[in-house]
């Protein structure tokens, strides 16, 4: 599949929050999607997160933002403290934007709030962890003395820089209990479901395709190689044993396509 299908999937992904929900930082306002027909040059081996950043840079430039720097590493005494994802200029306003694209699954047994319940497919990260990292580490990096030095080298005065966050997400709800209430979270982010491997036999009439991780951005389509339930189960079992939860595309016996994580937990 092409970069264009991934870019289209990226453009169709919504911001994770409906509004600022009382968080100590602001979110970037939506920008107009640029044309899918334009050529987007992204290395084929680039990781999903870096690919999303390139899509954002392309979208910003296509909407008359001047990108001053991207992926600016901040180094002090030979140690990398972190990086600024993007610094851009529009209407004489300079802004530092952190770019986030996540896949989270809903687990009502984790935490006590709506935000607490969203975790990574392999349970190694969570929405609340990411918000805390943004607040305590990533956004404060702008005010570090080494950052100020790097910005001055670019001709940018720290005092004139604003900050915000672009937080896009695909959210997946339980296959057996998808009645999830949304108050703070944007329900437009829901892109599929997840099911525990032990319950996979509920899908014996379906066929499956396991896309490469960069294709997680794309919407499922029929023009791929589909595996029978038996063949897919053989392929997915080694991943489950390694405690890895793969994303797959599912085609039902009525030809309906959907996204589904198969979890080991």
Q: Which of 66, 1, 5, 67 is nearest to 36 (CA)?
A: 5
Q: Where does the chain have alpha helices with state H?
A: 3-11, 48-62, 127-133, 145-153, 229-241
Using CA atoms, how far apart are residues 259 and 166, in angstroms rounded to an integer?
A: 23
Tokens, residue 177: 């209990």
Q: Is 1 a residue whose pLDDT tops 70?
A: no
Each residue's pLDDT tens digit, 87-98? 999 999 999 999
Contacts for 173 with CB less than 8 Å, ≥ 6 apart: 105, 106, 180, 190, 193, 194
Using CA atoms, how far apart are residues 165 and 175, in angstroms rounded to an integer?
A: 31
Residue 41: pLDDT band (50, 70, 90) is confident
Stated pTM of the model: 0.94
Other beta carbons less than 10 A from residue 98's beta carbon: 21
Q: Are 15 and 187 in contact (CB under 8 A)?
A: no
Tokens, residue 258: 């959907």
Q: Is 42 a residue whose pLDDT tops 70?
A: yes
The least confident of 30-34, 35-39, 219-223 is 35-39
Chain CA centroid to CA 96, Å: 19
Each residue's pLDDT tens digit, 105-163? 999 999 999 999 999 999 999 999 999 999 999 999 999 999 999 999 989 988 889 99
Mean pLDDT across the stretch 181-202? 96
Q: Is 39 a residue whose pLDDT tops 80?
A: no
Every domain of the chain and the residues it spans: 3-174+180-188, 191-263
Q: Is 49 a residue whose pLDDT tops 80?
A: yes
């Amino acid at each position: 599949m092409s970069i264009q299908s991934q870019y289209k999937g990226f453009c169709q992904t919504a911001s994770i929050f409906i509004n600022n929900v009382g968080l100590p930082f602001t979110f970037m306002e939506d920008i107009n999607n640029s044309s899918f027909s334009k050529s987007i040059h992204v290395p084929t081996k680039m990781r999903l997160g870096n690919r999303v950043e390139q899509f954002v840079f392309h979208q910003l430039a296509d909407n008359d933002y001047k990108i001053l720097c991207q992926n600016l590493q901040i180094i002090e005494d030979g140690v990398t403290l972190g990086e600024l994802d993007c610094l851009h200029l529009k209407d004489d306003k300079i802004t530092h934007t952190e770019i986030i694209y996540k896949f989270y699954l809903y687990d009502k047994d984790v935490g006590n709030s709506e935000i607490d319940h969203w975790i990574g497919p392999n349970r190694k990260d969570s929405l609340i962890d990411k918000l805390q990292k943004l607040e305590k580490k990533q956004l404060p990096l702008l005010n570090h003395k080494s950052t100020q030095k790097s910005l001055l080298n670019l001709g940018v005065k720290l005092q004139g820089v604003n900050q915000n966050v672009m937080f896009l997400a695909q959210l997946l709800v339980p296959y057996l209990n998808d009645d999830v209430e949304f108050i703070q979270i944007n329900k437009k982010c829901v892109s599929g479901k997840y099911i525990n491997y032990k319950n996979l036999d509920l899908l014996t009439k379906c066929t499956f395709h396991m896309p490469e991780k960069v294709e997680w951005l794309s919407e499922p389509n029929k023009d791929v190689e589909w595996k029978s339930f038996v063949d897919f189960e053989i392929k997915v079992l080694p991943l489950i044993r390694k405690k890895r939860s793969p994303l797959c595309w599912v085609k039902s016996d009525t030809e309906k396509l959907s996204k589904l994580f198969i979890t080991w937990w």
